[in-house]
């Protein structure tokens, strides 16, 4: 490719992550695992985290065997500031500085507001929003000091639309977009981009309640212009783009991977 300044660059190389180190929260399974695998296939070394160390170790082993890239497993409760600080110390000592952070850990508690407890609301907000804040707070500044970094926050279609029975989840995911835009402004001149991915319905453990209910599943499919749920591998391209040099002029924005749902 011929660039205006006369330099030549292979576009495909922009998507390579060789020499980069990535940490993905909630990556022992589901979308997090798929994104971790995609980054490793592109050349990154990856840290797999969740609350359960055994699950992290199993996933890390699979990804390392498949990609040939170094992996590291660590358990963390992203809602606990001391635990996130401990994670940072362990990763720094045994793995090295993080270049790419994907804040994927999340939970959902469904129910009408009169049936939800304050504890239910706080649990979802703490994991989905506070966890994203804490991990960004402790890993982001080092990226800014080194002059390069990528932070990707997982929002949802419910960041911008909503439905009954989703008060905690929709509130937390809407707030994640506000956090994303603010951090993008804070680090815009530091070489760190901060963006969000907002998935639509994917067949993950979080959605088993819907997947196992034929009527609810059908109701969801009817709202998706592409007429189907997302397959796990379909999150990989979005994550790789936002984690790489291919997105070097993209920050503070949101990429919807939802089969067209929010385009309506």
- Each residue of 80-90: pLDDT tens digit? 999 999 999 99
Domain boundaries, the chain: 11-258
Q: For position 247, what pLDDT does the model report?
A: 98
Question: 212 falls in which pLDDT band (50, 70, 90)?
Answer: confident
Q: For position 3, what pLDDT does the model report?
A: 53
Q: For position 10, what pLDDT does the model report?
A: 86
Q: For position 216, what pLDDT does the model report?
A: 77
- Residue written as token pair 């592109």: 42
- Residues 72 and 46: their CA atoms lie apart, in Å, by 6
Provide the 3-class DSSP secondary structure of residue 211. helix
Mean pLDDT over 114-120 rounds to 98
pTM of the predicted structure, to 2 decimals: 0.94
169 is catalytic: yes
178-209 pLDDT, tens digit each: 999 999 999 999 999 999 999 998 877 777 77
Does pLDDT of 109 surpass 50? yes
Look at residues 153, 50, 55, 150 and name the one whose alpha carbon lies nearest to residue 104: 153
Q: Name the catalytic one among 169, 187, 202, 256.
A: 169
32-48 pLDDT, tens digit each: 999 999 999 999 999 99
Please enumerate in sequence order all residues whose Cβ is within 8 A of that of 90, keeping only pairs 6 or more positions apart, or say none. 74
Q: For position 1, what pLDDT does the model report?
A: 46
Look at residues 116, 113, 18 and name the one whose alpha carbon lies nearest to residue 68: 18
Q: For position 262, what pLDDT does the model report?
A: 96
Q: For position 9, what pLDDT does the model report?
A: 64
Question: 214 falls in which pLDDT band (50, 70, 90)?
Answer: confident
Classify domain 11-258 at the CATH topology level.
Rossmann fold (3.40.50)
Q: DSSP alpha helices (H): ranges in 68-158?
A: 81-94, 118-125, 131-146
Look at residues 35, 192, 20, 34 and name the one whose alpha carbon lies nearest to residue 95: 20
- Residues 146 and 30: their CA atoms lie apart, in Å, by 31
Distance of CA 128 to the CA centre of its chain: 11
φ/ψ of 197, rounded to 5, equals -110, 130
Highest mean pLDDT among 5-19, 205-219, 232-246: 232-246
Upper half-sphere CA count for residue 8 (Cβ side, 13 Å): 1
Does pLDDT of 4 surpass 60? no
Does pLDDT of 6 surpass 60? no
Provide the 3-class DSSP secondary structure of residue 221. helix
Measuring CA to CA, how many Å separate 9 from each of 15, 103, 241? 12, 30, 16
**Strands 254-257 and 149-154: what pairing?**
unpaired
Query: What angle is formed at CA 94 by the lines to CA 91 and CA 96, rounded to 5 degrees?
Result: 65
φ/ψ of 244, rounded to 5, equals -110, 180
């Amino acid at each position: 490719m011929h660039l205006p300044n006369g330099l030549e660059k292979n576009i495909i190389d922009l998507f390579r992550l060789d020499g980069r180190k990535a940490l993905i929260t909630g990556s022992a399974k589901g979308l997090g695992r798929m994104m971790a695998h995609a980054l490793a296939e592109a050349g990154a070394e990856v840290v797999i985290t969740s609350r359960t160390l055994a699950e992290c170790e199993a996933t890390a082993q699979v990804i390392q065997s498949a990609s040939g890239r170094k992996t590291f497993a660590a358990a963390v409760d992203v809602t606990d500031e001391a635990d996130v600080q401990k994670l940072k110390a362990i990763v720094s000592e045994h793995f090295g500085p993080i270049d790419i952070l994907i804040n994927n850990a999340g939970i959902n508690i469904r129910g009408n507001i009169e049936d939800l407890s304050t504890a239910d609301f706080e649990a979802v907000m703490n994991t989905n929003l506070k966890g994203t804040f804490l991990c960004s707070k402790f890993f982001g500044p080092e990226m800014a000091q080194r002059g390069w970094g990528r932070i990707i926050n997982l929002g949802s279609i419910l960041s911008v639309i909503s439905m009954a029975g989703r008060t905690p989840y929709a509130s937390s995911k809407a707030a994640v977009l506000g956090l994303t835009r603010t951090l993008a402004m804070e680090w815009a001149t530091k070489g760190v981009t901060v963006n969000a991915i907002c998935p639509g319905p994917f067949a993950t453990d979080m959605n088993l309640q819907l997947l196992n209910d034929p009527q609810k599943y059908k109701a969801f499919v009817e709202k998706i212009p592409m007429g189907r749920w997302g397959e796990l591998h379909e999150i990989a391209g979005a994550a790789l783009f936002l984690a790489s040099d291919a997105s070097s002029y993209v920050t503070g924005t949101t990429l919807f991977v939802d089969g067209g749902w929010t385009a309506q």
